[in-house]
Structure 1
Amino acid sequence: MNVRAPADDVSVWLTGEFTGRLPASAIEAVVRATRADLDGRIVPDEVGELLYRMARARLQRILAG
């Protein structure tokens, strides 16, 4: 069974969403930092959704800044 971590999935989704606007390495760094911020703070089953929303918001702020 190939089980991917939520951060891997979120990185893939956001890389597709922000293609051409931010490099994949920057997106992955934001996802990793966001995941670290959430570590131990929320129920593990909810990590994927919240990670996606928070990382996406951070990437949008980067683009707006």
Structure 2
Amino acid sequence: MTVRSRVTDEVTTWLTGEFAGRVPAEAVKVVVRAAGRDLDGRVVPDEHGDLLYRVARARLVRMLSAPEEPRIPRSRG
């Protein structure tokens, strides 16, 4: 296991616990991995874990605060 994948797993575990009951674990995993891809090659390796946590957490908070999509009433006919 590479250092980067270990860091990604640790951030995923931490955020899964932090958002338990509000965001499904699989969704947290997807968000962390996407944030990791976005940061890949753009961040000094020593800061990757901290920034990965911050970026993924900000995205999860934004997901929770986003208004729900309007529901279209079904016709009864």
TM-score normalised by length of structure 2 = 0.78
The residue aligned with 1:30 is: 31
d(CA) in 1 for partners of 2:56, 2:36: 8
Question: Aligned to 2:22, what secondary structure does the other structure show?
Answer: coil
Q: What does residue 21 of structure 1 align with?
A: 22
CA offset digits 1:36-57 (Å, max 9, x no partner) = 0000001111100000001000
2-structure distance, mates of 1:51, 1:42 = 10
Q: Determine which structure has the larger helix proportion and give its number.
A: 1
- The RMSD of aligned alpha carbons is 1.1
Q: Deviations over 1:5-36 (max 9, x none)?
A: 11100000000000000100000000000000
TM-score by length of 1: 0.92
Equivalenced residues, count: 63
Which of structure 1's runs of 4+ aligned residues deviate more than 4 A? none
Identity %: 62
* Structure 2 residue ranges without an equivalent (≥5): 67-77
Q: Which has the higher contact order (CA 8 A, sep 6+)?
A: 1
- Give the greater-gyration-radius structure (CA): 2
Match of 2:48 in 1: 47
